[in-house]
Amino acid sequence: MQFGIDYGVSNTAGQVSPSEVSGILVTAGDAGIKVLDTAASYGNAEEVLGRALHPGDRFTIVTKTLPLSHGLEQVESRARRSLEFLGTKTADAILVHAAQDLLGPDGPRLWAMLQRLRDEGLFRRIGISAYFADGPLQLARQYRPDLMQIPFSLLDQRLLQNGEMASLKELGVEIHVRSIFLQGLLMMDPAKLPASLTHAGPALAATRARIGEAGLTPVTAAIGFTLARREVDIAVVGVTKRDELSEIVTAAAADLPEFDWPACAIDDAITLTPSRW
């Protein structure tokens, strides 16, 4: 998202420059990262990626639909246009970006359209991007997506605790998790949070203290916890510079001590839902 717009509560640098995007992709390729996650709604992120990618790059691309409020024809047209922007004839997957679109009266028609695009060979797989409140498991049982993207982090363990992640795996759904740093909240000073998040300061401070006592950094704890979960197939991270990605790659290879991971979870819907900040 940062490649196409100025995004993120902890992002002070704004939209990533094209030259930095190219550098990030080189670092990602060298590290063995294979998946790029983007969306039609991420400003000009698809175009930026299309210009930065090279024929020899071994990335697979996951993109997402426009909201159904644009109309079904426009959603389909934009999905086809996404491939043009990305400079490819086919992509690995396209997700319904707003899961609520599937719960409305036109949900079945939207899903049928995506199935048709998959049958045409434009996208190898189709799926859903969902929030906790959308009921990911219910959506998966109704539509049987190939993959789902859901929020999950050291701070937000709700879908693990309620068993939905395990049930999604039983259905054969590939799980991509996002917000593993909760927009960088985990790395922020608990005493310097935005006004809308000051109530989360004490819980965040307690979690950061536990992490520090275990000899871990917030990045190492966040990425290590996520990648250690057998339910997680892909962890999606957002970065604004090569150094950030390098730090994440290093953290992903670190050995983890015995640690009380459940104790780090926060039970507060506002803190765990960036759109409410």
Residue-wise pLDDT for 113-168, tens only, equals 999 999 999 999 999 999 999 999 999 999 999 999 999 999 999 999 999 999 99
Q: What is the dihedral of CA 83, 85, 86, 88, to 10 degrees?
A: 50
* 173, 140 contact by CB (below 8 A): yes
Q: What is the mean pLDDT of residues 5-34?
A: 83
Q: What is the mean pLDDT of residues 107-113?
A: 98
pLDDT value of residue 11: 44
Cα(252)–Cα(259) distance, integer angstroms: 16
Cα(187)–Cα(208) distance, integer angstroms: 9
What contacts 27, CB < 8 A, 6 or more positions away?
242, 245, 246, 249
Q: Percentage of the chain with pLDDT > 90?
A: 88
DSSP string, 213-224: HTT--HHHHHHH
Taken in order of first residue, the domains within the chain and their CATH numbers are 18-276 (3.20.20.100)
Could you tell me the CA-to-CA distances from 67 to 97, 169, 173 in Å, in that order?
7, 27, 23
pLDDT value of residue 7: 57
Q: Which amino acid is at 160?
A: L
Q: pLDDT per residue over 54-81, tens digit each?
A: 888 899 999 999 999 999 999 999 999 9
